[in-house]
Amino acid sequence: MRGTSMKLQSLRRTVLGISAAALLAAGAAVPGHAAEAADPVLRDLAAAHGISYGTAVTGAKLTGAYADVAGAQFDSITPGNEMKWGSVEPVRGDFRWSGADAVVDFAEARGQKVRGHTLVWHSQLPSWVENGSWTASGLRTVMTEHIKTAAGRYKGRIDHWDVVNEAFDEDGTRRQSVFQRTLGDGYIADAFRAARAADPAAKLYLNDYNVEGLNAKSDGMYELVRSLKAQGVPIDGVGLQAHLIVGQVPPSLQANIQRFADLGVDVAVTELDIRMQLPATEAKLAQQKADYAAVTRACLAVSRCVGVTVWGFTDSDSWIPDFFEGQGAATPYDEGFRPKPAFYGIAEALGWTGDPGPGPGPGPVDGCAVAYAVQNQWSAGFTAQVTVRNTGTAPVNGWQLAWTWPSGQSVTQAWNAAMNQSGASVAAANVPYNASIAPGGSVTFGFNGAWSGGNAAPAGFALNGRPCATGTAQAG
Ligand code: G3I
């Protein structure tokens, strides 16, 4: 099975005349991190094992460095939001395909597979579906028509469809979505049959979260897959989303993948991210590296595990800070598109034996000072400037400056840095053109913020995890 898929993958890429190595050689360099011959390319490493390594993307961001990394490193693309029901049919019969089309076109131009996400889901569902007063037959028609239209539009161009997403509650019983409430248990089989009819070549998946290890929820999913297979329902695969927490990869992940595989379906890790409480430290990033490697190895260990998709490849494009206050840094690349230890954990699990070296990724800092100044302040807003000086003896190659707001301020717009805020925690990362700070040198960036009540300066700053002197940015 894996041998066949490996052959198909390499045939496909030869026909398209595209290889990741060629893209890199053609100048798809990662800013702030020069493309070097020794750099691992995940899509090539994965292909050598007959598995896929993919990423979810935000279609609107697919230009510049973001597009370069997404295209060069991954062999499968999942539209993060663009194919959801609420995006493509917000009003009944009014279909909007431009966002989804752009992602599919992007992937095809780079010889990448597309995971269609998702046809039937309780969330990001337009109000006309969620809050309609439906008879069973009325909703069944709406659901199957939606599947027919979406899967039919991309017929032959989608490798895997997440046909039904998140159908279970944590105890393994069915989630009481509008589909479950109105149509009963049979809606899932109906959805898979409609998807098969619309696109016979696509692999059809049941996808969910918190089903990575052996637990009540994955037991419920297992029973459903067993019963669908017994009834001859066209299900091809199970997607384990894998929104995980640093240090908490379920020990039973591989056994769980294996038991689904033994039912005669493929398995994919479909939405991998591994979040941590901010700020990121070297120790947390090291644990995250081990965790990404462990998930990758669990997939490699089961022949029917067809691949892994990360849910956003860069911390600048992750859902985590918006949904889990104070958490983030969940992906393999930082905000400045520099590979993190997690990236090398994946590469090493895929057999790469090179040396990450001190270059990529924010390295150690042996001295720093920060000057923070509010330059202008008005009723609810302010403009601030931050100067970071390297007071050590070693160059800084790639930097991230972290601080905590003392009185509820928030960043609204930044220049000369990529800034992210989660709760009161702020992380400002270099942009491609100011990644390096020579010994004695400095960089300056600025931002607009919002305040109310108080606008005191942060008590301290940490550069790549190292506390900095504050005040003048001269001493250290
Ligand atoms: O597009 C609007 C924008 O116009 C508006 O200004 C902004 C204000 O909040 O919201 C934007 O929509 C957001 C959308 O992402 C696009 O960025 C929604 O608020 C936000 O809720 C939505 O979050 C998505 C989330 O699904 C919704 O549940 C995440 O991006 C997306 O990554 C996430 O993905 C899900 C998978 O589909 C299923 N598994 C879990 C995974 C993580 O939640």
| Residue 360 near residue 338, CB atoms below 8 Å | yes
| Residue 273 near residue 325, CB atoms below 8 Å | no
Q: What is the number of the ligand 1 atom nearest to the C-alpha of 165? A: 38
Q: List the chain domain ranges.
A: 11-349, 368-470
> pTM, whole model, 2 decimals?
0.77
Token pair, residue 237, equals: 């695969």
The protein residue with its alpha carbon nearest to ligand 1, atom 11, reads 81
The protein residue with its alpha carbon nearest to ligand 1, atom 25, reads 319
The pLDDT of residue 410: 93
State how far the alpha carbon of 327 is from the alpha carbons of 200, 400, 426, in Å. 41, 16, 11
State how far the alpha carbon of 345 is from the alpha carbons of 47, 51, 291, 363, 405, in Å. 17, 16, 8, 16, 32
CA distance 195 to 117: 13
**Residues contacting residue 133 through CB under 8 Å, at least 6 positions apart:** none
Four-CA torsion 139, 143, 144, 147, nearest 10 degrees = 170
Q: Are strands 466-467 and 442-450 parallel, antiparallel or unpaired?
A: unpaired
Question: Is the omega angle on the peptide bond into residue 126 within 30 degrees of 0, that is, cis?
Answer: no
Distance 357 CA to ligand 1 centre (A): 36
Token pair, residue 328, equals: 């983030």
The pLDDT of residue 14: 26
Token pair, residue 291, equals: 């965790």
Quickly name the fold that domain 368-470 has: Immunoglobulin-like (2.60.40)
Nearest to 95 by CA among 107, 106, 84: 84
The pLDDT of residue 4: 38
The pLDDT of residue 363: 65
Distance 321 CA to ligand 1 centre (A): 12
Does the CB atom of residue 455 touch ligand 1 within 6 A? no
Which run of H or of E encompasses 328? Answer: strand 327-328
Burial label for 64, CB within 10 Å (0-12, 13-18, 19+), is: exposed
Residue type, 340: K
Residues of the chain with pLDDT under 50: 1, 3-37, 359-361, 474-476
Token pair, residue 393, equals: 């003896």
**Residues contacting residue 410 through CB under 8 Å, at least 6 positions apart:** 421, 449, 450
Q: Which numeric CATH code is attached to 11-349?
A: 3.20.20.80
CA distance 441 to 443: 7
Distance 146 CA to ligand 1 centre (A): 20
The pLDDT of residue 362: 57
Residue type, 202: A
| Residue 227 near residue 189, CB atoms below 8 Å | no
Q: What is the number of the ligand 1 atom nearest to the C-alpha of 311? A: 32
Token pair, residue 135, equals: 């008879």
The pLDDT of residue 434: 86
**Residues contacting residue 73 through CB under 8 Å, at least 6 positions apart:** 20, 41, 42, 43, 53, 55, 313
Does the CB atom of residue 319 touch ligand 1 within 6 A? yes
CA distance 403 to 457: 10
Q: Known catalytic residues? A: 166, 271
Per this entry, what is the length of the chain?
Answer: 476
Substitution site in 78, 81, 240, 324 for ligand 1 pocket (most atoms within 8 Å of beta carbon): 81
State how far the alpha carbon of 329 is from the alpha carbons of 286, 323, 367, 405, 448, in Å. 12, 13, 24, 18, 23
The pLDDT of residue 404: 86
Distance 212 CA to ligand 1 centre (A): 22
Does the CB atom of residue 331 touch ligand 1 within 6 A? no
Q: What do you get for the CA distance between the two ends of the chain, in Å? A: 59
